[in-house]
Structure 1
C-alpha cells in the first residue's frame, strides 16, 4: 500500500505541479501582468544582438522546432518503436504529442496574444502564446529522455543522450526569442506546458504498463 502511494507521488504529483505552474503562468500572460512585461524585456535585452554568427545559427537551428519537422520526427519515432514491438512506448509517444500540441492550439486561440511587433528574422504566423516550437520540442525531446532512461542500459550512453536531448528544446527556445517571433514568456509557457503533458503521459505509461510489467516480472 505504501509503495503504491509512493509511486503515485513520483508520477502524478510532479505532473500536477507543472500543470498548476503552467496555468498560473498563462493567467499572468493573459492578464498582461507587469511582472511578465518586465521579465520579457529583461530576457530580450540579454539574448538579442546583431552578431552575424548568432543570427545565422538562430535562423537555421530554429527550423528543427518547426511543426512539420517535429511531426515527421514523431512519426518516425513511433514507427521505430512499433517496429521494435515497443507498442506501449509508441502509444505513449503518439498520445503525449497529440495531447500537448492539440491543447497548445486551443490555448493559443483562447489567449490570442500577438507576436512581438519588432521585425522578425524568420517567418512566423498565428498567435504568440505559448510558443509552439517550445511546446513541441520540450515534449518530443522530453519523451526521448524518458525512452532513453527506460530503454538504454549503458549508464554513460544514457547520460550523454539525456544531456543532448535536453539541449535541443533549450536552444530552440533561445532561437525563438532571438528571432523576435516570440516573447520569452511564450517560450517559458511552452516549456511548462510541454513538461506538464510529458509527465501526464508518463503517469499513464507508468500506471497502465510499467507497473503491471514489473508486477508480472516479480511473479515469474
Structure 2
C-alpha cells in the first residue's frame, strides 16, 4: 500500500542523466585523464590527515559498507518488507541491489584500475574502480530514501530519516578515501553508479506498481462517490 498521496514521479529521465555522467566518468578514469588525476589529488589533500580520532572513526565506520554487511542489511530489509506484505518494494530492493553490485563487479574487471599505492589503513583487495562500498551504500540507502518517502506519513520522521540515509553513503565514501584504499574518483563513480540503479529501478517500480495502484485507487474512489 502507498501511504502518500503524491509519490515521486517517474525517475527515468534522471536515471538517464546519471547514467550519462557515469559513463563519461568511467571513460575518463579508464583512459587516465588528467582531469581525474587533478580531482583525486585535490580531494585527497582536503580529506586525508593523521588525526588519531579521525583514523579510528574511519577504520570503524568503513566496515558498515563492507559487502557482507550490505548483503546482511539488504536481506533484513527485504525480509521486513515481505513480512509486511510489501512485495513490490521487496522486489524493488532486491532487484536494484543485485543489479548494482553485479554490474559493479563487471566494470571493476573491465577497467582493472589498481588501488592507491600508499599504505592502506584497512585490508582491501580487488580492483579500485568503482568503489564497491560506495556503490552498495548509495544503492541501499537510496532505496531507503524512496521507501521512506513512500511509506512514512509523519513529515518530521520522514525528513529526519531521509537526512540520516543520505549521510551514510557520504560518510562511507569518505572513509574509503581516508583509509587510502580508494581514489576519490572511485568513490564518486560508485555513488553515481549506485544512484543510477536506484533511479532506474524506481522507474520500473513506478510504471509497473505505483502508477497502476494509484489508477486503481482513483477508480474505486470515483465509483464510490
TM-score (norm. length: structure 2): 0.94
Deviation at 1:182, TM superposition (A): 0.0
Instruction: Give the drift of 1:131.
Output: 0.0
Distance 2:147 2:91 in 1: 12
Paired residue total = 214
Report the aligned-residue RMSD.
1.2
Q: Match of 1:99, SS?
A: helix
Equivalent residue, structure 2, for 1:97: 97
Following superposition, the deviation at residue 11 of structure 1 comes to 1.6
- Cα 1:83–1:8, aligned 2, differ >3 Å: closer, same or farther? closer
Q: Which has the higher helix share?
A: 1
Q: Deviations over 1:33-54 (max 9, x none)?
A: 0000000001000000000000
C-alpha distance in 2, partners of 1:15/1:42? Answer: 28
Q: Tell me, what secondary structure is at the counterpart of 2:11?
A: helix
Distance in 2, matches of 1:211 and 1:83, equals 23
Give the corresponding residue for 1:127.
127
Q: CA deviation at 1:9?
A: 7.9
8 Å CA contact 2:62–2:176 kept in 1: the answer is yes
Is residue 149–residue 158 contact of structure 2 (8 Å, CA) maintained in 1? yes
**1:48-74 deviation digits (Å, cap 9, x = unpaired):** 000000000000000000000000000
**1:66 equivalent in structure 2:** 66
| Gap change, CA 1:171 and 1:8, over 3 Å in 2 | closer
Superposed counterparts of 1:1-220, under 5 Å: 10-220=10-220
Separation in 1, partners of 2:11, 2:37: 33
Q: Which structure 1 segments of 5+ residues have no match? A: 1-6
Runs of 4+ in 1 over 2 A off after TM superposition: 7-10
Q: Which whole-Å CA distance do the structure 2 matches of 1:11 and 1:162 have between them? A: 17
